[in-house]
Chain A
Amino acid sequence: MEKLIVSPSPHDENYMKTSTIMLNVIIALIPALIAGCIYFGLRSLVLTGVCIGSCVLFEYICRKMMKRENTIADLSAVVTGLILALNLPVTLPLWMAVIGSFVAIVIVKQLFGGIGQNFANPAITARIVLMVSFPAAMTNWVAPYWYKAADAVSCATPLVLTGTTDEARNIDLFLGNCGGCLGETCALALLIGGLYLAARKIISLAAPVSFIGILFLLSLFYYDSVDYALYQILAGGVFLGAFFMATDYATTPITTKGKIVFGLGCGIITFIIRQFGSYPEGVSYSILLMNVLTPYIEQLTRTKVFGAKEAAEK
């Protein structure tokens, strides 16, 4: 008999690993990726491949240079690359996407200590950096099925358009048949992915529901039109942001109460930027701003310990 292993209890564990969680997020994003391919063509896959590949490579190099344990096997870099790609217009030059990956993995994630330690969402931050660095390329929207046309047709993202909305337009938005980043247009695909993650208990719906809910209500009161309020939540990156970025573990609060505060904050900031800002889209900024507030939200939304005396010892 070999020497017995002696270790503290518990001696049993469940089999949910970090990589299992990440794999589930990847699975949940596949519908959105497929929708992107349908609407924007196979270049979507090329762009996604470049983002994922460069993210994993940057992660590998970073860990190597920092003489830390290699963490690419936890698949978190793959998730970052995938989410980043879904946040980019399909026409973006590939070298810009690589810069985005660099920002996400090297600057936002690894410089702060790697997985779980970053305070800002890597993909969101990378998108914002690209947005302010290459505004033209980052807003070069093309119409769905552009690849079938003889010449690429430029098209505005629905949020830039003004004018009336109607039910038919909202259905198009729900299905993703409109201009925008390659993974953000199809609300249906994102909803399927988000619900899958919720069903697998990977994410809590607290943040997405409060995010989308408050944005809907604010728009409803502001415009007094259900169609317009629906248009506000279906257009732009709301679903992608709410289900996949406002639920990021590292950069959002842990407790349910905290998640609700986070979601409400995102919804309110998105609404304010869209209505009163000079900028058509506010989802990325709202999530980044709330990321920054997360440590404070956490302090204020701690769980109540069962039977604990109120912090009298302070």
Chain B
Amino acid sequence: MKKLNGIKLKHRKNTENCATVDFPVPAEVILPMSMHMGAPCQPLVKKGDTVLVGQKIGDCDAPFSVPVHSGVSGTISDIIDYQTPMGAVCKAVKIQTDGNQTISPDVKPPVITDKDSFIKAVRESGSCGLGGAGFPTHIKLNPKTPIDTLIINAAECEPYITADYREMLECPSDIIGGINLVKSILGIKQAKMAIEANKPEAIKNFTEMAANDDTIDIVTLPSVYPQGAEKVIIYNSTGRIVQEGQLPADQGVIVMNVSTVAFLYRYMQTGMPLVTRRLTIDGNAVGEPKNVRAIIGTPFIELLNFCKTDIDSIRKLIGGGPMMGMSVPDINMPVVKTSNALLAIKTYDERKTSSCIRCGRCVNVCPLGLMPAEIDKAYRIRNIQELKDLKVLMCMNCGSCTYVCPANRKLAETNQLAKALIPRK
């Protein structure tokens, strides 16, 4: 089997032994109506309304979308226009919390009779991929082609982040429960839980837990970034190649993030929708790096203060990991469903970009075998046919090329800009 390229990164998993701490209810939460991939929701509440924990406050008719729920009880203080770090524009609901955390009467375990009621319940849970991409879970679990393998993505290949790792150590039975739930309802025969080799304790625990279950395999992935990329993890755990233009389901595979599958299990038990999540707070401006379970909508600044961060020294704030995370433009932005980490970086010297020296490092590290240096050249002269031939549309923006470039060329960024030049059919 061909080995895919990748890069060795410093793991910097400083928080791997930090048990999750609950962050207290903040005075105010901000809930953007777009925290997932797909159509943004419309608020179902208006200024002055009171809401309870678990109450749905935003929804959308579009199938490719997931509803938004409140994680606090309190009063709607405002509905504002909001721009996400991705640049999307949507409404956001501000809730003044009352501190009582009264649970909504709507929160009750869903009744599952068949696949349809399951998919419906998954949608109502507000679940989307918790690994960072935010793909709606109910779409992922409702593929058009038969699925024989469920892959649980527990690679967590980005530096710093240990949120999924803590899920594995703290809630292993929820994960196994979630795997069995998805397997039984979708009729999937085999599950493979793929964990990167830098998490030996998780590998050991799950190997023991699944020892008597033939239908769950624990796969150890090499500690090479980007193991968690969908195509890479599918190939490294099943040998299957998701072809250009295909979805994983076309290869009979569904890939789910480990925290998402554990959340689904808990939702089916309690009926509490996705209103909290675990995230890693780290970075060199953070005094006490932690894993925090926060109510979705909690402003980042409160979490940073909670982790004894030197706020004045922060030069860059990253939502997610250092390789694929988004720059956060405003420290008052809230935790969203896809926030698996918040990194506050204080020293940030951007090196100057210089000419490509054609060293080929970008080509040698691209897991997909793309040629970023050539794409860069074709992009500069706007050669669209050449960009197509170089398969720039397949780039998954893992950032390895930019990372290794000695001339500090922003190759991954160029790939995304180049994609935009190619007309979509």
A residues in contact (CB < 8 Å) with B: 1-2, 4-14, 16-18, 20-21, 71, 74, 76, 113-117, 204, 249-250, 254-255, 302-309, 311, 313-314
Any chain A CB within 8 A of the CB of B231? Answer: yes
Given the interface pairs A7-B327, A309-B244, the reply to whether A21 lies near B359 with Cβ below 8 Å is yes
Interface residues of B in 304-326 (CB under 8 A from A): 311-318, 320, 322-326
Any chain A CB within 8 A of the CB of B389? Answer: yes
Residues in A with CB closer than 8 Å to B350 are 5, 7
- A-binding segment of B14-22, B27-35, B396-404: B396-404
Q: Complex formed: what's the CA distance from A20 to B394 in Å?
A: 32
Shortest distance between the CB of B398 and any CB in chain A (Å): 8
Assess whether A13 is in contact with B357, with CB atoms less than 8 Å apart.
no
Given the interface pairs A17-B351, A254-B373, A303-B371, the reply to whether A11 lies near B360 with Cβ below 8 Å is no
Residue of A nearest to B12 (CB): A12
Assess whether A116 is in contact with B358, with CB atoms less than 8 Å apart.
yes
Q: Complex formed: what's the CA distance from A308 to B389 in Å?
A: 10
Residues in A with CB closer than 8 Å to B404 are 14, 16
Q: Which of B331, B389, B412 touches A314 (beta carbons < 8 Å)?
A: B389
Assess whether B357 is in contact with A250, with CB atoms less than 8 Å apart.
yes
Interface residues of B in 332-356 (CB under 8 A from A): 343, 345, 348, 350-351, 354-356
Assess whether B403 is in contact with A8, with CB atoms less than 8 Å apart.
no
Q: Which of B244, B315, B390, B410 touches A4 (beta carbons < 8 Å)?
A: B315
Assess whether B363 is in contact with A303, with CB atoms less than 8 Å apart.
yes
Assess whether B391 is in contact with A308, with CB atoms less than 8 Å apart.
yes
Residue of B nearest to A250 (CB): B358
Assess whether B406 is in contact with A254, with CB atoms less than 8 Å apart.
no
Any chain A CB within 8 A of the CB of B264? Answer: no
Residue of B nearest to A114 (CB): B355
Assess whether A9 is in contact with B356, with CB atoms less than 8 Å apart.
no
Consensus secondary structure, chain A interface: loop
Q: Complex formed: what's the CA distance from A309 to B374 in Å?
A: 19
Q: Complex formed: what's the CA distance from A115 to B363 in Å?
A: 19
Residues in B with CB closer than 8 Å to A117 are 355
Assess whether B231 is in contact with A307, with CB atoms less than 8 Å apart.
yes
Any chain A CB within 8 A of the CB of B13? Answer: no
Q: Complex formed: what's the CA distance from A76 to B356 in Å?
A: 13
Assess whether B367 is in contact with A254, with CB atoms less than 8 Å apart.
no
Assess whether B355 is in contact with A303, with CB atoms less than 8 Å apart.
no
Q: Complex formed: what's the CA distance from A11 to B282 in Å?
A: 14
Given the interface pairs A5-B327, A10-B403, A12-B403, the reply to whether A307 lies near B363 with Cβ below 8 Å is no
Residues in A with CB closer than 8 Å to B316 are 4-5, 7, 11
Q: Complex formed: what's the CA distance from A116 to B356 in Å?
A: 6
Residues in A with CB closer than 8 Å to B49 are none
Q: Complex formed: what's the CA distance from A116 to B353 in Å?
A: 13
Given the interface pairs A11-B322, A307-B241, the reply to whether A313 lies near B388 with Cβ below 8 Å is yes
Shortest distance between the CB of B101 and any CB in chain A (Å): 31
Assess whether A18 is in contact with B354, with CB atoms less than 8 Å apart.
yes
Q: Complex formed: what's the CA distance from A304 to B413 in Å?
A: 22
Any chain A CB within 8 A of the CB of B201? Answer: no
Query: What sequence of 0s and 1s flags, for each residue 358-375 of chain B, a beta carbon within 8 Å of any chain A beta carbon?
Result: 111101001111110110
Assess whether B358 is in contact with A2, with CB atoms less than 8 Å apart.
no
Residues in A with CB closer than 8 Å to B360 are 204, 249, 254-255
In this complex, the member of B312, B400, B407 whose beta carbon has the largest number of chain A beta carbons within 10 angstroms is B407
Residues in B with CB closer than 8 Å to A11 are 316, 318, 322-323, 325, 327, 343, 345, 348
Shortest distance between the CB of B146 and any CB in chain A (Å): 20
Assess whether A1 is in contact with B231, with CB atoms less than 8 Å apart.
no
Residues in B with CB closer than 8 Å to A306 are 4, 231, 235, 241, 367-369, 394
Assess whether A18 is in contact with B407, with CB atoms less than 8 Å apart.
yes
Q: Complex formed: what's the CA distance from A74 to B368 in Å?
A: 30
Q: Which of A12, A21, A303 touches B406 (beta carbons < 8 Å)?
A: A21
Q: Which of B231, B324, B359, B373 touches A9 (beta carbons < 8 Å)?
A: B324
Residues in A with CB closer than 8 Å to B326 are 9
Q: Which of A1, A9, A302, A304 touches B314 (beta carbons < 8 Å)?
A: A1
Assess whether B416 is in contact with A8, with CB atoms less than 8 Å apart.
yes
Q: Which of B159, B369, B405, B412 touches A305 (beta carbons < 8 Å)?
A: B369
Residue of B nearest to A5 (CB): B316
Assess whether B368 is in contact with A307, with CB atoms less than 8 Å apart.
yes
Given the interface pairs A5-B315, A254-B373, A255-B363, the reply to whether A307 lies near B358 with Cβ below 8 Å is no
Residues in A with CB closer than 8 Å to B231 are 306-307
Given the interface pairs A9-B323, A18-B357, the reply to whether A307 lies near B318 with Cβ below 8 Å is no
Given the interface pairs A4-B316, A18-B406, the reply to whether A249 lies near B359 with Cβ below 8 Å is yes
Q: Which of B312, B357, B402, B413 touches A116 (beta carbons < 8 Å)?
A: B357
Q: Complex formed: what's the CA distance from A109 to B65 in Å?
A: 54
Residues in B with CB closer than 8 Å to A7 are 316, 327, 350
Any chain A CB within 8 A of the CB of B328? Answer: yes
> Apart from A4-B315, A254-B360, what 11 extra A-B contacts exist at CB < 8 Å?
A1-B312, A4-B314, A9-B325, A10-B412, A11-B345, A14-B404, A18-B354, A305-B369, A306-B241, A307-B242, A307-B368
Assess whether B357 is in contact with A4, with CB atoms less than 8 Å apart.
no
Assess whether A115 is in contact with B245, with CB atoms less than 8 Å apart.
no
Assess whether A305 is in contact with B370, with CB atoms less than 8 Å apart.
yes
Residue of A nearest to B231 (CB): A307
Residues in A with CB closer than 8 Å to B322 are 9-12
Assess whether B402 is in contact with A304, with CB atoms less than 8 Å apart.
no
30 A-B pairs within 8 Å (CB atoms) are namely A4-B314, A4-B331, A6-B329, A9-B325, A9-B412, A10-B324, A11-B318, A11-B348, A12-B322, A14-B404, A21-B357, A71-B355, A113-B355, A115-B355, A116-B355, A249-B360, A254-B360, A254-B371, A255-B363, A302-B371, A303-B363, A305-B368, A305-B394, A306-B367, A306-B369, A307-B242, A307-B246, A307-B368, A313-B388, A313-B389
Q: Complex formed: what's the CA distance from A10 to B323 in Å?
A: 4
Any chain A CB within 8 A of the CB of B77? Answer: no
Q: Complex formed: what's the CA distance from A7 to B317 in Å?
A: 10
Residues in B with CB closer than 8 Å to A10 are 322-324, 399-400, 402-403, 412
Any chain A CB within 8 A of the CB of B408? Answer: yes
Assess whether A4 is in contact with B363, with CB atoms less than 8 Å apart.
no
Residues in A with CB closer than 8 Å to B208 are none
Assess whether A311 is in contact with B370, with CB atoms less than 8 Å apart.
no
Residue of B nearest to A8 (CB): B413
Q: Complex formed: what's the CA distance from A20 to B367 in Å?
A: 25
Q: Complex formed: what's the CA distance from A10 to B371 in Å?
A: 18
Q: Which of A113, A303, A309 touches B245 (beta carbons < 8 Å)?
A: A309
Residue of A nearest to B327 (CB): A6
In this complex, the member of B244, B317, B357, B412 whose beta carbon has the largest number of chain A beta carbons within 10 angstroms is B357
In this complex, the member of A18, A74, A116, A305 whose beta carbon has the largest number of chain B beta carbons within 10 angstroms is A305
